[in-house]
Amino acid sequence: MQIPGPDGFLLAPDDPLHAAHLRLSDFLLAEEQRNAASALVDPGPWRKTPRKEIPGLTLAVLRRMMWLEQHDAELAAAHLSRIRLGKLLRLLYSIKAPFTEQDLVSIVETTTLLLNRITPFGPVERVSEYFRSNALTPALCRALHAFQANLRDEMGGSKTSMQSLRQQLYMLLWMDEWEPLNPARCWSECVRRDFRGMTGERRARWRDLLKHLRGNAPVRMPKGWAREAEPLLAAVGLEDFRERIAAWFAPFRSGQPLPLSVPGSHVLKGLIWYCAVARDEELRGIALWLLDARWRQKRNTEKSLVALAEFGVTREELASRNLIKERVPDSMPKYLDRLGRSLSLVTTDRVVNSTDENMLIVQGQLHFYRISLSTGEIQRVSDNAQIELDWHSLPDQFRVNISEKTDSPHQFQMRAFLLMNDGVFARYFREVSGKKARPSN
């Protein structure tokens, strides 16, 4: 017998996540009773949860959110349940727990399906943590590739957070040992090719060394990174490392333009850092071959070139060779001029204007609109089409303040605000099929 939870989700007794779903139902009921859609989740009880239960709870939250998404049109409060579960999900991701490969595949795949509803942070970080002591698998790499293909910048929070997430993805997928090689994609394909040709303990030692490469590392080599790199380099052996670096860096002296991808630039930077950790004069000389390299994609080269600072090569020297652009801060007058031009684009006549007691006129970024205060009908003036708010397509946080029905002056103003910014929010409106707006008097 299936028992409905407070959000409508049906709990099946034979579900492997049944215990997790029971706890989620209790959580949702308690949050609903204190009307806490906007309140923080009390972390205490969840942090006391046995670590082995965290993966199941995480997956249960995601599957519950997926069910709520699928039944959104039938449930008036689905968005509130998703908001509460989303806050719990962020808390669960902050707790270190032993995720298995199967756990991670399921979590990444389910998150990919929910990327239009939830932030993308959490699954990739858990995979990175798993990867520190385990190898990737074909299934996990396929899930990560799908996640990356569906990721959009607007899905995250700050630009910095999204950049860090993408950099982690780049490096994880660079270690995908089953992806077909493509030498035209990046110089670093030669590194991947040679690594895949290794066998046994040698391959395992090189895998550990390459896993230590970072996509979100700072400009200068951190002492902690170098300290962890030393035993990895010693395990590979200086002679083997020197031989491979010489072979991989040899194309830098060919005079031929080489391709360099974003992950490839991180790999190059990390290998130069390993050369610095080795404290070997021959490796220092090989690393400096980078000064002679020619690249097709110059936008990706700076982060690897500045890594030569570990060998005393300054930004000024790189700039004097025209290898990087010298950073000159904008003068204040230029900044103020740009700011003034930006502000001049914000005109006062785009505000919502009331032409009479029964109509709101809205000038959007793309169209003019008329909103009837008596019926709530919205007319797009440019083609006389009648449109309506597609409430179920709104992000959950929007739906806390914007109701499905236009039943108050506040709701009229909220729709007017969205239409004023139709360059961003037009996707949340749809045409009423077969209807043209009534001509205004």
pLDDT tens figures, 292-303 = 889 887 777 787
Please check whether residue 360 lies inside any domain of the structure: yes
Among candidate residues 127, 155, 177, the one where a domain is terminated: 127
In the predicted structure, residue 32 carries a pLDDT above the cut 90 = no
- In this predicted structure, which of 86-100, 161-175, 244-258, 394-408 has the lowest mean pLDDT? 394-408
CA nearest neighbour of 302 among 311, 283, 293: 293
Among candidate residues 74, 109, 127, the one where a domain is terminated: 127
259 touches 297 (CB < 8 A): yes
Domain check: are 308 and 358 in the same one? no
As a three-state string, the secondary structure of 206-256 is HHHHHHCCCCCCCCCCCHHHHHHHHHHHHHHCHHHHHHHHHHHHHHHHCCC
Domain check: are 199 and 108 in the same one? no
Q: Which has more pLDDT, 441 or 382? A: 382
Total domains in the fold of the chain: 3
Domain check: are 366 and 313 in the same one? no
Please check whether residue 254 lies inside any domain of the structure: yes
Please check whether residue 99 lies inside any domain of the structure: yes
Domain check: are 390 and 267 in the same one? no
Helix or strand or coil: residue 436? strand
Please check whether residue 168 lies inside any domain of the structure: no
Domain check: are 290 and 372 in the same one? no
Note the pLDDT of residue 213.
Answer: 95
Among candidate residues 273, 303, 320, the one where a domain is terminated: 320
Instruction: Give the integer Cα–Cα distance in Å for 429 and 278.
Output: 60
Note the pLDDT of residue 1.
Answer: 66
Go through 247-277 and write b for each residue having 16 or more CB atoms within 10 A of its CB, e for each that does not: ebbeebeeeeebbbbbbbbbbbbbbbbbbbb
Eight-class DSSP state of 119: -
Q: For residue 293, what are the contacts with CB-CB under 8 A and spacing of at least 6? A: 251, 252, 253, 258
Domain check: are 193 and 307 in the same one? yes
Instruction: Give the integer Cα–Cα distance in Å for 139 and 102.
Output: 9
Residue keyed to tokens 């004069």: 281
Q: For residue 255, what are the contacts with CB-CB under 8 A and spacing of at least 6? A: 294
Counts of helices then strands in the chain (DSSP H, E):
20, 10
In the predicted structure, residue 271 carries a pLDDT above the cut 60 = yes
382 touches 368 (CB < 8 A): yes
CA nearest neighbour of 425 among 400, 382, 391, 401: 391
Please check whether residue 327 lies inside any domain of the structure: no
Instruction: Give the integer Cα–Cα distance in Å for 204 and 327.
Output: 41
Domain residues for the domain of 61 are: 3-127
Domain check: are 201 and 314 in the same one? yes
Domain check: are 44 and 86 in the same one? yes
Return the half-sphere exposure (C-beta side, CA atoms, 13 A cut-off) of residue 62. 27
Instruction: Give the integer Cα–Cα distance in Å for 228 and 231.
Output: 7
Please check whether residue 215 lies inside any domain of the structure: yes
Q: What percent of the chain stands above pLDDT 90?
A: 59
List, in sequence order, every residue forming a beta bridge with 436; answer none if it has no partner: 385
Domain check: are 114 and 9 in the same one? yes
5 touches 65 (CB < 8 A): no
pLDDT tens figures, 127-145 = 999 999 999 999 999 999 9
Q: What angle do CA 7, 413, 69 make, to 5 degrees?
A: 25
Instruction: Give the integer Cα–Cα distance in Å for 47 and 44.
Output: 5
Q: How far from the centroid of its chain's Cα atoms is residue 74's Cα?
A: 30
Q: What is the mean pLDDT of residues 169-198?
A: 96
Residue 37: band (very low, low, confident or very high) from pLDDT cuts 50, 70, 90: low
Note the pLDDT of residue 437.
Answer: 55
Rg (CA), the chain: 28
In the predicted structure, residue 329 carries a pLDDT above the cut 80 = no
Please check whether residue 160 lies inside any domain of the structure: no
Instruction: Give the integer Cα–Cα distance in Å for 237 and 244.
Output: 11
Instruction: Give the integer Cα–Cα distance in Å for 256 and 250.
Output: 11
248 touches 269 (CB < 8 A): no
Q: What is the mean pLDDT of residues 422-431?
A: 90
Instruction: Give the integer Cα–Cα distance in Å for 161 and 99.
Output: 23
Q: What angle do CA 438, 440, 441 make, to 5 degrees?
A: 130
Domain check: are 42 and 81 in the same one? yes
Longest dimension (CA), the chain: 87
Residue 194: band (very low, low, confident or very high) from pLDDT cuts 50, 70, 90: very high
Q: Which two tokens stand for residue 347?
A: 């005109």
Please check whether residue 181 lies inside any domain of the structure: no
Instruction: Specify the pairing of strand 257-258 against strand 294-295.
Output: parallel
Domain check: are 419 and 316 in the same one? no
Domain check: are 218 and 287 in the same one? yes
